[in-house]
Structure 1
Amino acid sequence: MTAHNPVELVPYDPQWPANFRRIRARLLTLLPQALSIDHIGSTSIPGMIAKPLVDIDIVLPSLDHIRDATRVLLAEGYEPRGNRYDEEVWAFLWKGSIPAERVYLCPAGNRTHRNRLAFRDYLIAHPQSASDYAVLKRRLAAEFRMDGDRYTALKREFVDTVVAQALAGDD
């Protein structure tokens, strides 16, 4: 199964923020109940190498809104990807645009969402940490080219350390 999940990293594309704004506008039309729609992941960090897809968290008022939002995304052609990271975060992939979109539905106050924003903001504010992350990503992508799950799992310690620093307010 892991052979179907290759790791493809590309150089930062300065169009990613504009891609996000376009996607966000469409998602707000589809899901007007969203409290926020946030650009997360490596494409949200200027200069960062990344998989060529825009990661987006859609924060809904509560878990009660997930089912209706899921119906909307499925009707729009998003593929369900389950909830791999958190029991209250549901992933969807849409390959109908370039770059592809991976969106996550989560309720307000969700810990995974908070951590993703903390990680993004810390790396933007700390170029050396961002550089260290890029080096790690390159090494893991080379070593686990055909095993995206392992690539992701082995980034976890770095990500968890940065999130802890960010939430503690460490500079």
Structure 2
Amino acid sequence: MREMKVVPYKQEWKNQYEVEKQLIEEVFQDEIVDIHHIGSTSVPGLAAKPVIDILIEVKNIAFIHTYNNEMIKRGYECKGENGIEGRRYFQKGGEDRTHHVHMYEQGHSEVGRHLRFRDYLRKHPDEAWQYACLKQELAKKYQYSPAEYVEGKTSFIQMIDQKALRK
């Protein structure tokens, strides 16, 4: 059973992202348009689950499944769309996840949403702090219930998404 843990920000998360970015670039090479560090580990000072989220924009999402075996060799599970149309999702680390890779075709609306959310929190440390407190509270309350943890964050995330759209 997966345990929800939110820990203080760690400077090493940036380095972990850079290492994984190089590994992924070796796999997908010319398919990649851009790679971004997203999620809470990408916001300096923000407490987070210690999982590196990577967003990759690709030229054509229809070809990504042809790289599944290479991702498996590098320790990833290939999850297909995993509930989000137009996405390809990979996770690494099993129950103790270390990395999530979210792939979208260039121009997909989720790319902009993720980047706006990250950038807004980077520019608004007070709201990043509120988000960290909420996540810590939810992680304690729903320690073994990932779905309830995620649901508990939804309204805050939507509020930040709206504010980020107006900036």
**TM-score, length basis structure 1:** 0.88
Q: Distance in 2 between matches of 1:123 and 1:99?
A: 23
Residue in structure 2 matched with residue 70 of structure 1 by the alignment: 68
Residue 31 of structure 1 aligns to a residue in which SS? helix
**TM-score, length basis structure 2:** 0.90
Residue 48 of structure 2 aligns to a residue in which SS? coil
Q: Distance in 2 between matches of 1:19 and 1:50?
A: 14
Residue in structure 2 matched with residue 15 of structure 1 by the alignment: 12
- Kept in 2, the 8 Å contact 1:5–1:149? The answer is no
Residue in structure 2 matched with residue 49 of structure 1 by the alignment: 47
Residue in structure 2 matched with residue 135 of structure 1 by the alignment: 133
* Structure 1 alignment gaps of length 5 or more: none
Give the Å deviation of 1:71. Answer: 3.9
- Kept in 2, the 8 Å contact 1:36–1:60? The answer is yes
Comparing 86-95 with 63-72, which one deviates more in the overlay?
Answer: 63-72
Residue 14 of structure 2 aligns to a residue in which SS? helix
- 2:122 pairs, out of 117, 121, 124, with 124
Residue in structure 1 matched with residue 102 of structure 2 by the alignment: 104
- Kept in 2, the 8 Å contact 1:66–1:106? The answer is no
Q: Taking every aligned residue pair, what percent have the same amino acid on both sides? A: 30
RMSD over aligned CA atoms reads 1.9
Q: Distance in 2 between matches of 1:62 and 1:23?
A: 21
Residue 35 of structure 1 aligns to a residue in which SS? strand
- Kept in 1, the 8 Å contact 2:77–2:90? The answer is yes
Deviations 1:17-50 (A, max 9, x none): 1111111112111111211111011100001111
Aligned 1:70-89 pairs, distance under 5 A: 70-84=68-82, 86-89=84-87
Give the Å deviation of 1:84. Answer: 3.8
Q: Distance in 2 between matches of 1:85 and 1:127?
A: 31
* Structure 2 alignment gaps of length 5 or more: none
TM-aligned CA distance change 1:123 to 1:17, over 3 Å: same
Aligned residue pairs, count: 165
